[in-house]
Amino acid sequence: MSERVLSGMRPTGQLHLGHYHGVLKNWIKLQHEYQCYFFIADWHALTTEYDNTSIIAPSVWDMVIDWLAVGINPGDATLFIQSKVPEHAELHLLLSMSTPLSWLERIPTYKDQQQKLKEKDLATYGFLGYPLLQSADILVYKAGRVPVGEDQVAHVELTREIARRFNHFYGREVDFKKKVKEAIRKMGKKNAKIYKELRKSYQEKGDHEALTTAQALISNQQNIALGDKKRLLGYLEGETQTILPEPEALLTPIAKMPGLDGQKMSKSYKNTIALREPPSSVEKKIRTMPTDPARIRRTDPGDPEKCPVWQFHLVYSKDETIQNWVQNGCRSAGIGCVECKQPIIDAILAELAPIQERAQHYIEEPALVRSILAEGSEQARIVARETLKEVRQVMGLVYR
């Protein structure tokens, strides 16, 4: 399996604590473990903002500054803008030719988002194609893993089906069997035997562990050419070579970052704290945050389970003595809500201070930010061009 990781975010403006705890902290960890490609999905933003495109460009800059400020490192991960790699669009178009409409219509986000954004006309060609464009994003890098939240798993599932269909149509070769036999021979007696046994286990018993083991065995072969590797990978599962490998969703460990009102933190609920929120505003937002409605007077006991402030303590007060202080103090009315909120204010300010300092650095160096994205986009293009060359070739679109 490819050790390439790919993920994207739509440019929606400045990021907030929900993005940080829910997504970015995970990216920061992954960038050390895999070859990571993180991109700004400006074309995806167009699917809903086609009538208001002026917000996209500023949002792109705000977003990448926030990525850099939290510690996404352009030395470890490749950062780029989707529209700077036109191969995404070409692959999207080529895949669109063989994608059944029903596959797109049945994706839950299609109807859900139309419901949610009723004031927008999302009965568009582009919006229906949103998940297919996402598939192209993933497949153009042959990414093995895609870190996403729960809501995006269906899109990765679709990507797997799209890849399978593509390989089915275009992964066929004349003399495939003969070439596979030859490739197996090249593995050497011992590995060839293991390969055949693993394949049999998978094909006859559906043993998925055997499949992954066999895939690893093939990736580790030093003296087998890439073309043969594709045949060997394909033969494990069927009679075609694998041109576009099926990715796997890497579910983001759910760090539930609540919003100020206890719902999920999200811009559309207006309950966020931005990563670049000024300290005075952080303080004010926490101070005015709702608490257990039963605590009308200071002397009324409360229940942390009914209070969004407690949700914040779960994120920020890892120290059990603070948690116990909240639990006991709230239930006995031993502490007041103002007091209870102070450790959270302190923790958020401490968390944001270094982020804001780094953000300031990038704000003052726009040329640096531009060059990071330009270089990343060039780097990404090298990989994307390779894939498209191969895709055009297997589809028979080479005119020389």
Interaction of residue 302 with ligand TRP, rule CB under 6 A:
no
Q: Is 244 left (phi over 0), alpha (psi -120 to 50) or beta?
A: beta
Q: Does 6 help bind ligand TRP (rule: CB under 6 A)? A: yes
Amino acid identity of 334? G
Q: Is 132 in the site for ligand TRP (CB under 6 A)?
A: no
Could you say which of 62, 137, 228, 292 contacts ligand SF4 (CB under 6 A)?
Answer: 292
145, interface contact from ligand TRP, ligand SF4, none, CB < 5-8 Å by kind: none
Q: Which stretch binds ligand SF4 (CB under 6 A): 92-100, 194-202, 258-266, 306-314?
A: 306-314
Distance in angstroms between the alpha carbons of the first and the last residue of the chain: 33
14 part of the interface to ligand TRP, by CB under 6 A: no
- What is the phi/psi pair of residue 77, to 5°? -120, 150
Q: For residue 83, state whether it binds ligand TRP (rule: CB under 6 A).
A: no
Stretch that binds ligand TRP, among 134-142, 210-218, 273-281, 324-332 (CB under 6 A): 134-142
Residue 264: Cβ within 10 Å count: 14
State which of residues 17, 30, 41, 60 lies at the interface with ligand TRP (CB under 6 A): 41
291 binds ligand SF4 (CB under 6 A): yes
- Minimal distance, residue 326 CB to ligand SF4, in Å: 5
Range 245-264, binding ligand TRP (CB under 6 A)? none
Query: What does each C-alpha distance from 129 to 96, 109, 158, 370 come to in angstroms?
Result: 8, 11, 12, 29
Q: Within 13 Å of residue 154, how many CA atoms lie on the same side as its CB?
A: 12
Nearer to ligand TRP, 23 or 282 (CB): 23
Q: Which is nearer to ligand TRP, 9 or 257 (CB)?
A: 9
Nearer to ligand TRP, 6 or 348 (CB): 6
Q: Is residue 148 near ligand TRP by the rule CB under 6 A?
A: yes
Is 309 a binding residue for ligand SF4 by CB under 6 A? The answer is: yes
Among 326, 355, 384, 388, binds ligand SF4 (CB under 6 A): 326
Residue 6 interface partner, choices ligand SF4, ligand TRP, none, CB cut-off 5-8 Å depending on type: ligand TRP
**Residue 295 binds to ligand SF4 (criterion: CB under 6 A):** yes
Is 302 an interacting residue with respect to ligand SF4 (CB under 6 A)? yes
CB nearer ligand TRP, residue 43 or residue 310:
43
Residue nearest to ligand TRP (CB): 8
| Closer of 35 and 240 to ligand TRP (Cβ) | 35
Report the 3 state secondary structure along the chain. CCCEEEEEECCCCCCEHHHHHHHHHHHHHHHHHCEEEEEECHHHHHHHHCCCHHHHHHHHHHHHHHHHHHCCCCCCEEEEEHHHCCHHHHHHHHHHCCCCHHHHHCCHHHHHHHHHCCCCCCCCHHHHCHHHHHHHHHHCCCCCEEEECHHHHHHHHHHHHHHHHHHHHHCCCCCHHHHHHHHHHHCCHHHHHHHHHHHHHHHHHCCHHHHHHHHHHHHCCCCCCHHHHHHHHHHHHCCCCCCCCCCEEEECCCCCCECCCCCECCHHHCCCCECCCCHHHHHHHHHCCCCCCCCCCCCCCCCHHHCHHHHHHHHHCCCHHHHHHHHHHHHCCCCCHHHHHHHHHHHHHHHHHHHHHHHHHHHCCHHHHHHHHHHHHHHHHHHHHHHHHHHHHHHCCCCC
Q: Which does 292 bind (CB under 5 to 8 A by kind): ligand SF4, ligand TRP, none?
A: ligand SF4
What is the token pair recorded at 382?
A: 């090298």
Sole window of 50-58, 133-141, 191-199, 269-277 interacting with ligand TRP (rule: CB under 6 A): 133-141
- Judged by beta carbon distances under 5 to 8 A according to partner kind, the member of ligand TRP, ligand SF4, none in contact with residue 337 is ligand SF4
**Closest separation between CB of residue 82 and ligand TRP, Å?**
7
Q: Is 7 a binder of ligand TRP (CB under 6 A)?
A: yes
Positions that interact with ligand TRP (CB under 6 A): 6-10, 41, 44, 134, 137-138, 146, 148, 152
Interface with ligand SF4 by CB under 6 A: which residues?
A: 291-292, 295, 302, 304, 307, 309-310, 326, 330, 335, 337, 340-341
